[in-house]
Structure 1
Amino acid sequence: MSLFQNIVIIVILIAGAGFLSLTEIALAGARKVKLKILAESGDERAQKVLDLQENSADFFAASQIGLNAVAILGGILGEGAFRPYFLEFVSRFYQGPWAESIGFALSFTLVTSLFILFADLMPKRLAMIAPEKIAVSVINPIQVFIVACKPLAWFINAIANLLFRLFKVNTTREDNITFDDISAVMDAGAQAGVLQKQEHHFIENVFELEERNVPSSMTTRENVVFFTLKESEASIRQKLAEYPYSKFLVCNDDIDSVIGYVDAKDILVRILNNQSLLQLNENTIRNVLTIPDTLTLSELLDRFRSTKEKFAVVINEYALVVGVITLSDIMITVMGDWVTPIEADQQIIKRDNNSWLIEGSTPIEDLMHALAIDEMPDTDNYETLAGFMMYKLRKIPRPADAVIFGGYKFEVVDVDHFKIDQLLVTRLLESPEAPIEEKSE
């Protein structure tokens, strides 16, 4: 054959190999989520791609048959077509015994470079740009090619499956989507500008409902406002005026003897109707949902949905009340400052770029968000910043006691009856990755 005919055949072989490389990467890299969206919108080709991904052994066998056959044939033709011309070129400068080898090496290098560039590198990089779009476009011709290679592909797959079983290799693809996968997609969306910073924060908080326990969002025991059965009318009126709550616990003598709760709306109706408030009775007291403090916020949402309640009392393993929680508390956890009442005290106050005043009752998850800390040590042993300090110091902290962790210094500022009210958190600029230390001054 003439040089022109050889070049035409080599170009055809390179195009065929490039098509197979393009198809191989596109079908392997096409994401199932996007393909399912296309299939649900009526694109039958997307469903074919999904089916091929589920049973890809025949495709990969056919693809490798085609790629290797084309590469071998291209090498044979290229070497025969170009070697005489390279040999003639080399002979102008060198007539020794290595002239044949040099001509062969140059022709081999040329053909190999053409195949690497146009049949391997460029098609694969193109396929990675839009794998779903390309996979859908090539699925019909590639299915014809698979059928053509079916007999040889079946034989090769049989040998491969035998070897996999012999070495006990599991070839089932794991397609379960984990939280880490979703988090990575959200991070990529935030970096690309598809998700706004606040939206990204909302989605992260929703997933944290599975990990955060009820105590991280509840109103703690010492802050619970409740009525007793013997509460005077003046006291009830004063508490209604002083605390802007919609629901109040009703207890017998103390907070651990809970009877139920009253809705502020019911009491206000009695006031408007000039009815007496001297006795809280069954007409106003409602049954209260009681939950253990070990529930996650996600589990509590399920309880609220099944019981149609929006208010619950949280008790510990000793049947002591540790706090109360409402549906609004969970929404505040998810939405953050967007739904936090303006008049509510801020738990985290930023003084400047490197220091914060933080309440000891601040949930450890909120602290990690505010300080951009990825991980806290042994988080199963505490739920708040105060708990973290007690856990690290191994004692009841006093003012000026400090813990250094993750490039931050946590210093106790105020303690009230053994309760850590406030801490000063300072970023250590000289050693942002400082090891954990504790000190008591």
Structure 2
Amino acid sequence: MSLGMLFGILAAMLILSAFFSGSETALMTLNRYRLKHLVKLNHSGATKAQQLLQRPERLLGLILLCNNFVNNFASSIATVIAIKLYADEESSVAIAAGILTIVMLICSEVTPKTLAAIKPEPLAFPAAWIYTPLLKILYPIVWFVNLFVNLLLRVVGVDVKKNRHDALNKDELKSIISDAESLMPTRYQKMLMGILELESATVEDIMTPRNEIIGIDLESPIEDIISQIKTSPHTRLPVYKTSIDRIIGFIHLRKILVLINQEDFDKHTIISCLDKPSFIPESTPVHNQMHRFKHEKIRIGLVVDEYGDVQGLVTLDDLLQEIVGELITDDVAVRAQNDGSYLVDANITIRELNRVAQWSLPTEGPKTLNGLIIEFMETIPETGTGIRLHGYPLEIIKRDENSVKLVKFLPIK
């Protein structure tokens, strides 16, 4: 065989080696979710690629079988060329092996694999058409090789069938959403994050605390009740006797304001307009409560603990806020300062503070910033006290006898 023909065969082997190496990388680095999207659009190459990737051990066995064959054949051809060119057989073979190694590394390994990793689809989809019939032809050999491969994997505790999945967990999905800044506005990112958090959030995390509940005490004078109704910023108010634990119902101001100017308006009129109170266990998941509000056509409920004592109040707006963020844009619970610090109302919930400031304060324990500070300090700190709360430096600005009211978060250096 002439040297020209030998060099031609060697070049063909190098090209085939580059194809097998590049296509292996291209198929393995395909975005599985884009691939599924293309399959739904009836992309023929994507369909073939997905079918091959359903059994990746077979595909890898086929590619490596072919690649090793052409590499070994290329080495044999290089040896023959070296013998023909040089009389000293031993040194010529060593030189040929060294040159071939460098050429194959550059032309058949690094270059095609780098290109395939950057743009996998132009190589992966055509290659899928080639590998599909090739797999059928060489299936007995591939099956025999994979038999021993699977046995070896089982020896080290790996079951190929059980570990074949493409499902994303919640944290991975969060990372994808966080990286999608160029594809969607920030507000939509926050909404999607809020939806993902619904699974772990309970009504206790988002409720209005007991001490902040505004309601109507039927033991108060009727004049005070009328004044409260006329000036209330809320459309629904709980009605109770002496204590919120003795609630008798909720009143909708739209109903009562029509009757409030009548001469016979009294407490009995208020009682006649009450809606039945709804009680929610504090451990109820947020997404479950949303379904309950929808099914029972209610918008407000009282959160109770295991003893039946009222711990707070939750509304449909609170649940929606967990998804879309603050419904009122002029909220002053977190105020940015010119020096990069933040003045924060200590009654804010940890979840809301994390969402507004993009922080990661722990949410497993206390629900409010005040509770988190008191738990951390094991006392109610004095005004002017500076601490580093889970990595975030802050200063106590205002407090009263039993709680922290206002803190200043300092810029993190």
Superposed, which structure 2 residues align to 1:241-320 within 5 Å? 241-271=230-260, 276-280=265-269, 283-320=272-309
Q: Which amino acid aligns with 2:49?
A: V
Aligned residue for 2:132, secondary structure, equals helix
In the TM superposition, residue 36 of structure 1 has moved relative to its aligned partner by: 1.8
Q: Which amino acid aligns with 2:385?
A: D
- Conservation of the 8 A alpha-carbon contact between 1:360 and 1:385: yes
- Conservation of the 8 A alpha-carbon contact between 2:373 and 2:389: no
The match for 1:59 is 59
- Aligned partner (choices 173, 190, 195) of residue 184 of structure 2: 195
The match for 1:124 is 113
- Conservation of the 8 A alpha-carbon contact between 2:240 and 2:247: yes
The match for 2:375 is 391
Q: Which moved more, 1:252-261 or 1:43-52?
A: 43-52
Q: Which amino acid aligns with 2:226?
A: R
- Conservation of the 8 A alpha-carbon contact between 2:350 and 2:361: no
Q: Once superposed, what is the RMSD of the aligned Cα atoms?
A: 2.6
Distance 1:235 1:131, change over 3 A: farther
Q: Which amino acid aligns with 1:168?
A: G
1:359 aligns to 2:345 (yes or no): yes
Distance 1:63 1:229, change over 3 A: same
In the TM superposition, residue 69 of structure 1 has moved relative to its aligned partner by: 0.4
Distance 1:424 1:380, change over 3 A: same
Distance, in Å, in 2 between the alignment partners of 1:173 and 1:145 is 23
Distance, in Å, in 2 between the alignment partners of 1:170 and 1:244 is 61
In the TM superposition, residue 303 of structure 1 has moved relative to its aligned partner by: 2.5
1:105 aligns to 2:94 (yes or no): yes
Q: Which amino acid aligns with 1:308?
A: K
State the 4+ residue runs in structure 1 displaced beyond 6 angstroms.
272-275
Superposed, which structure 2 residues align to 1:32-181 within 5 Å? 32-82=32-82, 84-85=84-85, 87=86, 101-132=90-121, 134-171=123-160, 172-181=163-172
Distance, in Å, in 2 between the alignment partners of 1:357 and 1:403 is 15
- Conservation of the 8 A alpha-carbon contact between 2:304 and 2:312: yes
- Conservation of the 8 A alpha-carbon contact between 1:270 and 1:277: no
Aligned residue for 2:148, secondary structure, equals helix
Q: Which moved more, 1:200-209 or 1:249-258?
A: 200-209
Aligned residue for 1:195, secondary structure, equals coil
Unpaired runs of at least 5, structure 2: none
Distance, in Å, in 2 between the alignment partners of 1:392 and 1:273 is 54
Aligned residue for 1:391, secondary structure, equals helix
- Conservation of the 8 A alpha-carbon contact between 1:34 and 1:132: no
The match for 2:365 is 381
1:329 aligns to 2:318 (yes or no): yes
In the TM superposition, residue 137 of structure 1 has moved relative to its aligned partner by: 3.0
Aligned residue for 1:189, secondary structure, equals coil
In the TM superposition, residue 352 of structure 1 has moved relative to its aligned partner by: 2.8
